[in-house]
Structure 1
């Protein structure tokens, strides 16, 4: 099965979607390797890798370090009909993370000063949910991550901050899927991300706005570095 080379990654993506939808690659099954798929489509591995990244970011497949890619057990027909699959561009994710760093670090600073008791309860529950997701090697954990950060912004009690983040919520979720997917199979990396969340939580709970701001900046900066953003460096 050879396909035209114009917009190769997009064409590979469409073919993979069709094969998943038709059941040729059923849920809970392991996909062929990048090399095997490249040979199947008559293309190089690069467009195959890019197409797989989009499927992973869209939640249709899960990839594990050294374990290949697996089709997730979801309502594939509904997803493939109604979800708009877009090619994820790393630069766009990096730019979004830069904006999140600016907004969420200040939101965390304010949350440490303004939070109400229920906010801490909700934040602790979200942290526990993220811990459980982090310990599941087949779970990306983007929903749990999003919930945690959303509560922080809410706890700042500034409606403009809240609305600003709501306006980019879809992009926020997609970027989390894209970045966290890269930690699948890397237990140490997943532990590091969870620890960063714990640091943010403790600083807010302790009412330490400066520490909360610093913890958020460190967390999101590390994510940007992981995605190859040359505009930032490791926080000291």
Structure 2
């Protein structure tokens, strides 16, 4: 039986927490290779999708690195300083986490409403924003504006002006990575592919006119972002 997007996110968090603990305690040391995906699936009792989401987040946080054709390895200590944010970025983390929490409540419901209220034109606008983000990813260009366009298109599709007004008021801060230029993940193709895949799930639910699936997909998308920034905050020097 397929698990919900939110349940998958919770399982991914469990995998992240345990692998991170192994790295921090030295059970997995710099340069060590992580177990293969099938072994991680068996060890944690989760699906391959969950394992891949967890590895993607650990990679975005700089804790592991993939080596083509060989596997995933614990990052060497010299690469860790790249994760140290500027003072301005560090101060932004609490606000980012609060904003993501707020967005889960508002945008989750907006996605559900859009699933049964959107017009054909509005559905096309959401799909167009999604395609635009994919094209920018392939060109190696910033996807922040296209990401915002996607979320705004979902808000417009509610046909409720208050959802639109909220996103317009928040503005560029809606997309967290736009506030953290130091983060390597802002232009990391694997990370952006994961974000795009989450958008695809939201779009598919809206196209299928499935409000509950749309709600869960949007909440899972924002929960994944919240998880990444919590991990980022924990990695900063005290």
Shorter-chain TM-score above 0.5: yes
Match of 1:119 in 2: 122
Match of 1:134 in 2: 137
Using the alignment, how far apart are the partners of 1:100 and 1:161 within structure 2?
10
Cα distance change, pair 222–182 in 1 and its aligned pair in 2 (3 A): farther
1:50 has 2:85 as partner: yes
**Unaligned runs of at least 5 residues, structure 1:** 1-44, 55-86, 231-236
Match of 1:20 in 2: none
Cα distance change, pair 179–149 in 1 and its aligned pair in 2 (3 A): farther
1:1-236 to 2 correspondences below 5 Å: 49-51=84-86, 88-137=91-140, 139-173=141-175, 175-178=176-179, 182-184=184-186, 186-228=188-230
Using the alignment, how far apart are the partners of 2:111 and 2:196 within structure 1?
17
Using the alignment, how far apart are the partners of 1:52 and 1:88 within structure 2?
6
Using the alignment, how far apart are the partners of 2:93 and 2:211 within structure 1?
31
Cα distance change, pair 134–88 in 1 and its aligned pair in 2 (3 A): farther
Match of 1:69 in 2: none
Aligned-pair RMSD on alpha carbons?
2.9
Structure with the bigger RCO (C-alpha within 8 Å, sep 6+) is 2
Taking structure 2 as the reference length, the TM-score comes to 0.57
**Which structure shows the higher helix fraction?**
2
Cα distance change, pair 229–164 in 1 and its aligned pair in 2 (3 A): farther
Aligned residues: 152
Shift of 1:162: 1.8
Contact 2:113-2:211 within 8 A present in 1 as well: yes
Shift of 1:135: 2.4
Using the alignment, how far apart are the partners of 1:165 and 1:134 within structure 2?
23
Contact 1:140-1:177 within 8 A present in 2 as well: no
Using the alignment, how far apart are the partners of 1:165 and 1:184 within structure 2?
21
Using the alignment, how far apart are the partners of 1:155 and 1:177 within structure 2?
24
Cα distance change, pair 159–185 in 1 and its aligned pair in 2 (3 A): closer
- The SS at the match of 1:146 is helix
Shift of 1:206: 0.8
